[in-house]
Amino acid sequence: MHGCAKSISASATMAECLSFRGVSAGYGETVVLENLSLSLAGGGTLAVLGRNGVGKTTLLATVMGHTTRHAGAIAFNGQAIESLATYRRALLGIGYVPQEREIFPSLTVDENLTVAARAAHGGRWSMERVFELFPQLGNLSASARTLHFDPKSPHPMKAAAALGFDSPEKNTR
């Protein structure tokens, strides 16, 4: 992919939220993304489609800083992030929800969100906002000791944990 079509709903005056300019990245010396350029306006949507093995996951891993960048620039809200550590990118508000079930199944919903809140350090989300966005979690958390979800369905707990939170002291229910 060498460019990105603008969303028909995106305003021409919206600032770029995420941009890749001539990015080549991969794993070690292996280049998976080559000379990739794209931009995503704030509030916009970008669909990345392709068959297995064409670099969709590598693109997301590159946004998070999990790959080796060989060339190009990556910016988030106008700030260069290509040299930032993964945790610094997360502190800027970049989150990634992988397909795997990377939660603590022996913990309650509240306990899992508290772990995520401590890792986020100053996010924009409170527990109350998360439960508004994912009401099924709010209904579970009062009595759930462990989490049991269909392994083939999307997991709301992971998405909620990726949001980041305000300080843990503010996350009381």
Query: CB-based burial of residue 4 (10 Å sphere; 0-12 exposed, 13-18 middle, 19+ buried)?
Result: middle
User: For 117-127, what is the mean pLDDT?
Assistant: 62
User: Half-sphere exposure of 101 toward its Cβ, with a 13 Å CA cutoff?
Assistant: 12
Report how far residue 99's alpha carbon sits from residue 103's, in angstroms, rounded to the nearest whole number.
Answer: 11
The dihedral sign for the CA sequence 84, 88, 90, 92:
negative
Which range marks the domain in which residue 83 is found?
16-91
Residue 166 domain flag: yes
For the chain, where are the alpha helices, taking DSSP H only? 56-64, 86-91, 109-120, 127-133, 135-141, 156-162
72/116 same-domain check: no
20/80 same-domain check: yes
The overall average pLDDT reported for the chain is 75
Whole-model pTM: value is: 0.61
Number of domains in the chain: 2
What is the CATH classification number for the domain harbouring 87? 3.40.50.300
User: For 97-126, what is the mean pLDDT?
Assistant: 67
For residue 130, the model assigns a pLDDT of 76
8-34 pLDDT, tens digit each: 444 445 688 999 999 999 999 999 999
64/117 same-domain check: no
